[in-house]
Amino acid sequence: METFKDKVVWITGASSGIGEAIALAFAKEGAKLVLTARREEELIRVKKLTGLPDGDVLVLPLDVTEFEKAKPAAEQVISHFQRIDIMVHNAGVSQRSYIQDTDLEVYQSLMNVNFYSTVALTKAVLPYMTKQKSGHFIVISSVAGKIGTIMRSGYNAAKHALQGFYDSLRAEGYKDNIKVTTICPGYIRTNISLNALNESGAKFGKMDANQAKGIPADECARQILDAVKKDKKEIYIGGFKEVAAIYLKRFFPSMLFDQVRKNIPE
C-alpha cells in the first residue's frame, strides 16, 4: 500500500471544495504540496490550514486555461521540489443550461477548463514522471463522465473525454510505472452548482438541492486517498442513486435512459 510521506503532490482547484479537502488530507499524511487555483489569497488560506512548514507548500496561482503557462509552471515545481510524484487534476466547472439555448463559446469554455487544461498540465508533467520512472495522476471526473444528463451536456462531454484520455494514459504509462486513478464523484457538498455556467456563460448562482444534501468534501477526499493507496484504477463516490445509475447504464441502459429524461433538475 502506497504511503504519502514526503511525496510531492500538485493539486489544481485547490482553493475550495474537493481540492481543498484533498490538500488537507494529503497534508495529514505528511505529503509536500503544490496548491494551484486562480485565487492566490484562498490558496494562502488553505496553505495555513495544512499546518505544514512553509518550505513544504508551494502556492502556485494559475489559470489552467492559459495552456502556454503549463510547462513553465511544471518547471517551477521541479525547481522547488526536484520532482512531482502525484498530479491531482481537480480544477473544473459545471453547467446548468439546455443544449438549444447554450452558446458555442460556453461549450468551448467547459472543454477548456474540464478537459484541455488537464491535457496541457499532463503533457507538462509527464516527461518528469517518465524520467523518474514513477508518478500517479488522480483525475477528478464525475458520474457525469459515465452518464449524460439534462442541462449538463457540455460538462458531460468534457468528463466523458477525461475518461477516454486517461484510460489511454494508464495503458501507455504502465511501462514507466505511471499510474492513473480516475475518480467519479456524484453529489458532493461543494459550491459547484453555484459556480456552474448558464447558457450565456454567466454563473448559475443557485445551490442544487441534491448538492446541498451530498457527501461532505472531506469524506470524498478520504475515499480518494484510500483509492490511491490501493492503486485503484477507477472509483465511484456518492449516494446510492448516483452509483446505482452507473451500473444501471451498464446492465439496463434503456431503463437508465428513461429515468434520465424524466429527471428535470431543480
Tens digits of per-residue pLDDT, 1-50? 568 999 999 999 999 999 999 999 999 999 999 999 999 999 999 999 99
Query: pLDDT value at position 108?
Result: 98
Query: pLDDT value at position 33?
Result: 98
pTM: 0.93
Read out DSSP for 152-169? Answer: -HHHHHHHHHHHHHHHHH
Query: pLDDT value at position 265?
Result: 60
User: Which residues are CB-neighbours of 32 under 8 A, at least 6 positions away?
Assistant: 6, 7, 8, 9, 52, 56, 57, 81
Question: pLDDT class for 198, splitting at 50, 70, 90?
Answer: very high
pLDDT tens for residues 155-182?
999 999 999 999 999 999 999 999 999 9
The Cα 164–Cα 172 span in angstroms is: 13
Average pLDDT over residues 112-116: 98
- Residues that are catalytic: 155
Nearest to 43 by CA among 13, 1, 76, 87: 13
DSSP element (H, E) containing 44: helix 40-50
The Cα 238–Cα 138 span in angstroms is: 17
Average pLDDT, the chain: 93
Query: pLDDT value at position 200?
Result: 93
Cell numbers 459556480 correspond to 195
Average pLDDT over residues 80-87: 98
Q: What percent of the chain has pLDDT over 90?
A: 80
Q: What percent of the chain has pLDDT over 70?
A: 98
Domains annotated for the chain, with CATH where assigned, are 8-262 (3.40.50.720)
Whether 209 shows a pLDDT value over 80: the answer reads no
Question: pLDDT class for 203, splitting at 50, 70, 90?
Answer: confident
Average pLDDT over residues 197-219: 87
Nearest to 138 by CA among 25, 43, 264: 25
